[in-house]
Copies of this chain bind each other. A is one copy, B any other.
Amino acid sequence: MNLQNLSTGKKPTRIQREKTGKILDAALDVFSRFGFRGATLDQIADQAGLSKPNLLYYYNSKEDLHNELLAQLMDKWLEPLEKIDPIGSPIDEICSYVCRKLELARDFPRESRLFANEIIQGAPRIADSLTGPLKTLVDEKAALISAWAKAGRIADVDPYHLIFSIWSTTQHYADFDTQIRSVMEDNYASRFEGAENYLSHMFRSTLAI
């Protein structure tokens, strides 16, 4: 964003709050469906109900807009992992983490797909976040899980691959939703209920001593 009043430290106006909200929502929709290069500013502007120059009044470039979305996303995406509590019961903590990730996939599928698109395409715009905050947090929680394993409180599994399996199985319900709808058909409506049951069983079995 590059608005005069903001860059001089003033508060955003009512219109700025309304319009940037609509823009970000439309951008999330379009970027998450087509990826960065496949999305067009015309489409985003259309969906947000503005003209393209008006959109560019709020965000100076396509890349600016995309970066804003990714920046907002990263925090929300790391939060569930942060919440794993060293004090709690290991298996419950990890299963709660699975549930939180599954809720994210259910409630924020567009965000999940935006992230997936970015990673699949080589993460050119969030490489720093991956090697920085993400890696730091994962290393920390992996150490915790290893400690639990060493103390004999959960099975001795590789914590990194455990985390990958949690990420992949939960995000799958957002990112591959189209495929799931095609395959499940009848039971599609209850997919998240079914997923919670299945994943709960799977990770409890995996971690049981």
Q: Give A residues with C-beta under 8 Å from B.
A: 33-38, 113, 116-117, 119-123, 127, 130-131, 134-135, 138, 155, 157-158, 160-162, 164-165, 167-169, 171-173, 175-176, 178-180, 182-185, 187, 194-195, 197-199, 201-202, 205-206, 208
Query: A131: which of B155, B161, B182, B197 is its contact (CB, 8 Å)?
Result: B182
Q: How far is the CB of A94 from chain B (nearest CB, A)?
A: 13
> What is the CA–CA distance of A14 and B194 in the complex, to the nearest angstrom?
53
Interface residue SS majority, chain A: helix
Query: Which residues of chain B come closer than 8 Å to A122, judged between CB atoms?
Result: 33, 178
27 contacts between A and B (CB under 8 A): A34-B121, A35-B117, A37-B37, A113-B120, A116-B176, A117-B117, A117-B120, A119-B175, A119-B178, A119-B179, A120-B120, A120-B175, A134-B179, A134-B182, A135-B183, A155-B201, A155-B205, A158-B194, A158-B198, A161-B197, A161-B198, A161-B199, A164-B176, A168-B168, A168-B172, A202-B206, A206-B206
